[in-house]
Structure 1
Amino acid sequence: MRQQMAKAQMAEAWPPVATCPYVALERPAAPEAWPLVFQSLDPGADRGVRLIELGLDRVVLRRRVAGVPMKLDRPLADYEGLAVALLDPEGDDEGVAIVLVHADPALSVTLYSAPHIDDVVAEWRGWSETLGLPMLVTEADGTRRPAYARIGRLTVAEIKARRPRRGPLKHRRPSVYRRRAAGSSLGGLTVHRGERELIARD
C-alpha cells in the first residue's frame, strides 16, 4: 500500500515527459505569475528529465538519480546571461536555443528552442529584459561576451557622433544676429508741444 502511495506521489510530482523536442515558455506579464515551473531534458536523471523552477531572483533545479531526490537552489545573479546556441553545432540541423548560461554547464537552462531562427532575436531580447541579464554572444573560441554594454539592468547604446555641419548653410550668419534691436514705442518721431495747429479750410 505504501509503495502504491509513493508511486502516485512521484507521478504527481514528476509529470510525463513532453514529447515535443522544443521549448516554448511564455514569459508571465504579472509578477504574481512567477515562478515558472517546467521540465527540461537531463540525461543523467531518472526518466531523463528534471524539474526547473525559474523565478525572478532564483533558479531551483530538481531531479531524481536512482530514486534519490536532489535539489539545487541558485540565485539568478549567479547566471552569466542569455546566449543563443545551435541545437546541433556539428550537424545540418538549423535549430537554435536560448540558454540561461551558468559557469557550470550542468546548471544551464534552456528557455526557448525552435527548428528555425525566425523568432529567436525577439525571444532573446525579451528574456534578457525580463530577467535583467545580458544578451551574450559566443565567440569562435567558445568564450562569451555581452552583445551590448550594460550598467546594471540598463542597456547602454553606442554614442552617436555629432552630425557635421556641412552644406550650403554652413557659413550662414546665425539668425540671432539678424534680430532687430528693441527701440522706443514712438519709432523715432519728433513730438511738438505748445504750438498752434494750422487747419486748412475751404
Structure 2
Amino acid sequence: MATGAQPVWAGHEFRLDPAKLPQKLVYATRNAAGDVDITVNQNGCVLKRQLDVSGLPLNIALPVNAFSGVAARAMYTGPENVLVTLELMHHDPELCVPLFVGHDLEGIARDWQTWSDLLGLPMLIVDEDGVTRTLDESARNVIKDKSHARRHHAMFTERRPRFLARRRMGTLGCRMVLDGVEIIARD
C-alpha cells in the first residue's frame, strides 16, 4: 500500500498513552477547514472535523477493524535527527490517526508493541518510498538467508534404515474376546 507525503501532525511532538484510554487529540489541518478533534479508545476512534467546502461538521466513527495496522514512519529532520511517527494506518491518508510523534525511539518501540497488542492490529512500517509493509516483510528484506540447500544424493533415495522399515501390526477387522470361569481350586 502506498501512502502520501509527511502527515499533517508530524510537525509537533506528542504522545497518546495506551494505558489511559480514552485519549483526545486536536491538531490543525493544512487547509482552512479548521481543527481535527480525535478521540481514541480500545474499540476504535471518532474524528470530528469540518467539511472543506461547506464547513459543515462531520463526525466519523472508525472501529478498530477499519485500520490496517499500527504503523511506524521515520523521517530525517537533520543530519543526525530522526522524527518517528506512530499512527493507526487507514487506506485513506486523511483518516489515519496519530498516536505518537517524537525522537524517543525506545518509547516509540514500546508504544508500538503496546498499541498493536491492545487493538489486535499488526505492526506496520512505512518505508521511505511511502510503501507500507508488515514488520515481517521488512525483516525479510533486510535479513537475507545465506544458508545453502542440503545436498541430496540419488543413491540414498531408495535405501532406508532398518528401523524405519519395520512392519506395523495390522488389524484383522475382528476382535477375539475370551470369557471363562476360573477352575483352580482354593482352600
Q: Which residue number corresponds to residue 9 of structure 1?
A: none
The alignment status of 1:57 with 2:35, answered yes or no, reads no
Structure 1 residue 105 corresponds to structure 2 residue 93: yes
Deviations 1:23-57 (A, max 9, x none): 1111235xxxx43222134223544x211121222
The number of equivalent residue pairs is 123
Distance of 1:35 and 1:120 partners within structure 2: 19
| Aligned twin of 1:156 | none
Give ranges in structure 2 of 5+ residues lacking alignment.
1-10, 138-187
1:43 aligns with 2:61: no
Separation in structure 1 between the aligned mates of residue 93 and residue 120 of structure 2, nearest angstrom: 20
Give yes or no for contact 2:18–2:111 (8 Å, CA) kept in 1: no
Separation (CA, whole Å) in 2 of partners of 1:116 and 1:58: 25
Corresponding residue for residue 25 of structure 1: 16
Structure 1 residue runs without a partner (length 5+): 1-19, 150-202
Residue of structure 2 in register with 1:73 after alignment: 61
- Separation in 1 of the partners of 2:32 and 2:123? 29
Aligned letter for 1:26? D
Instruction: Report which of the two structures shows the higher radius of gyration computed on alpha carbons.
Output: 1
Where 1:128 maps in the other structure, the secondary structure is: helix
Distance 2:50 2:128 in 1: 35
TM-align CA RMSD: 2.5
Output one character per residue of 1:67-124: Cα deviation in whole Å (capped at 9) or x when no partner: 42111122210101111113x45x4251111011000000001100113424221111
Structure 1 residues 82 and 138: alpha-carbon distance in aligned structure 2, compared to 1, 3 A threshold? same
Quote the Cα distance in structure 1 between the aligned partners of 2:104 and 2:46. 29
Identical-pair percentage: 26
Q: Choose which of 124, 128, 132 in structure 2 pairs with 1:144.
A: 132
Counterpart secondary structure, 1:95 = strand
TM (norm. structure 2) is 0.56
- Secondary structure of 1:26's partner? coil
